């Protein structure tokens, strides 16, 4: 990983970042409407949003593929305009599209990429990266003979040749089987444990909830939510408790009906409630008043998907 004399507090920081596209002679489309984001150094940060929300535009600005309209972007403390070279060397980006030369081997691909970044031959760690990503036995095979999953791993390898302190993964597990997805996340965890900051976009909300320390949700070019993952989910203030009793019942007892309980089966009651308004102790007291004996009790927590749907009103990202 690249080392700087001064370690920035934020790996990536944007202020009032805007991007406007011309859709015609007069029409303008605002892809980003003044994005303020602080991505802490050493975090795994998720950037989520519906299709067309502005995620790709944001990442393409970081990559230098799209020129911002206004605002500022700092990558590892370097402004992308006044210190473009330093900013580029601090970040490795794995795009959605798989772009590898079919006539190069993985070893040749990484060596070429390292040369592009000006990494001296004596400082390259090609074999180490290939081993880490499970590609060592394919080091001399033409990339056209690699499976889709292996090519995606090679894309991650390309992003790491210059040891960047920041890794951006744009939909890294799209179309990847479960085994490869697990291997990839294990490796990302190891990178993060060693100090690499990871910025992730993904269509898999469960994946984001499991992997990310913090999450920002972007919709229509605006950041509509940004916080620690657990804090975001807790903001829903919604839970569901399922109670299985020993007795057979055909109606909801009054003490539980007052709490909004519904009969799911002859022995199971379900209560949907707000933790800010109702405590578990009150539920247990209502069960006792009803003269029922608890056989099992479980509380279902809200998920990131619930929050995403509530904020954006959309089911696809």
How many other CB atoms are there within 10 angstroms of residue 248's CB atom?
8
Task: Return the closest-CA partner of residue 6 out of 77, 101, 71, 103.
Answer: 77
Q: What value does the mean pLDDT take over residues 151-164?
A: 92
CATH of segment(s) 239-301: 3.30.70.100
Q: What pLDDT was estimated at residue 299?
A: 86
pLDDT band with cut points at 50, 70 and 90 for residue 308: confident
Residue 4 has pLDDT above 50, yes or no: no
Q: Mean pLDDT highest for which of 118-122, 171-175, 308-312?
A: 118-122
Angle at 12 between CA 7 and CA 13, to 5 degrees: 105
pLDDT band with cut points at 50, 70 and 90 for residue 157: very high
Tell the CATH topology of 1-90+164-174+192-231+304-317: Rossmann fold (3.40.50)
Task: Return the closest-CA partner of residue 103 out of 58, 144, 61.
Answer: 144
Which one has a higher pLDDT value, 173 or 155? 155
pTM above 0.75, yes or no: yes
Residue 317 has pLDDT above 60, yes or no: no
Residue 165 has pLDDT above 50, yes or no: yes
Q: Where are the domains of the chain?
A: 1-90+164-174+192-231+304-317, 99-162, 239-301
Query: Chain-wide mean pLDDT for the chain?
Result: 89
Q: What pLDDT was estimated at residue 107?
A: 96
Q: How far is CA 285 from CA 67, 245, 259, 297, in A?
A: 61, 14, 11, 14
Task: Return the closest-CA partner of residue 56 out of 156, 222, 170, 166.
Answer: 170
pLDDT band with cut points at 50, 70 and 90 for residue 24: low
Distance CA 210, CA 207 (A): 5
Residues in contact with 259: Cβ distance below 8 Å, sequence separation at least 6, in sequence order = 271, 273, 278, 282, 283, 286
Q: What whole-number percentage of the chain has pLDDT above 70?
A: 96
Q: What pLDDT was estimated at residue 191?
A: 93
At 199-218, the pLDDT tens digits run 999 888 888 888 999 999 99
Q: What pLDDT was estimated at residue 25?
A: 62
At 26-72, the pLDDT tens digits run 678 899 999 999 999 999 999 998 888 999 999 999 999 999 999 99
Q: What pLDDT was estimated at residue 267?
A: 92
Q: What value does the mean pLDDT take over residues 274-298?
A: 91
Q: What value does the mean pLDDT take over residues 258-271?
A: 93
Residue 223 has pLDDT above 60, yes or no: yes
């Amino acid at each position: 990983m690249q080392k700087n004399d001064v370690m920035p507090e934020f790996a990536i920081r944007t202020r009032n970042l805007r991007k406007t596209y011309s859709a015609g002679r007069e029409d303008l489309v605002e892809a980003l409407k003044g994005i303020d984001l602080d991505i802490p150094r050493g975090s795994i940060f998720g950037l989520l949003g519906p299709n067309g929300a502005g995620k790709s535009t944001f990442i393409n600005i970081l990559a230098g593929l799209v020129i911002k309209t206004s605002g500022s972007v700092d990558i590892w403390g370097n402004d992308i305009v006044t210190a473009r070279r330093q900013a580029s060397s601090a970040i490795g980006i794995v795009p959605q599209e798989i772009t590898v030369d079919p006539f190069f081997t993985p070893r040749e691909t990484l060596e070429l990429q390292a040369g592009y970044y000006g990494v001296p031959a004596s400082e390259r760690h090609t074999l180490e990266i290939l081993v880490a990503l499970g590609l060592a036995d394919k080091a001399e095979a033409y990339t056209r003979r690699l499976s889709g999953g292996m090519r995606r791993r090679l894309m991650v390898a390309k992003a790491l040749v210059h040891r960047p302190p920041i890794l951006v993964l744009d939909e890294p597990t799209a179309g990847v089987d479960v085994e490869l997805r697990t291997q990839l996340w294990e490796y990302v965890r190891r990178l993060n444990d060693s100090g690499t900051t990871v910025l992730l976009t993904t269509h898999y909300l469960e994946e984001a909830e499991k992997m990310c320390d913090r999450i920002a949700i972007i919709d229509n070019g605006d950041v509509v939510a940004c916080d620690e993952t657990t804090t975001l989910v807790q903001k829903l203030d919604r839970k569901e408790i399922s109670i299985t009793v020993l007795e057979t019942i055909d109606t909801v007892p009054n003490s539980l009906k007052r709490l909004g309980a519904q009969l799911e089966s002859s022995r199971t009651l379900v209560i949907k409630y707000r933790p800010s308004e109702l405590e578990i102790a009150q539920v247990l007291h209502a069960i006792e008043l009803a003269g029922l004996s608890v056989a099992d009790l479980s509380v279902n927590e809200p998920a990131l998907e619930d929050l995403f749907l509530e904020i954006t009103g959309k089911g696809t990202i």
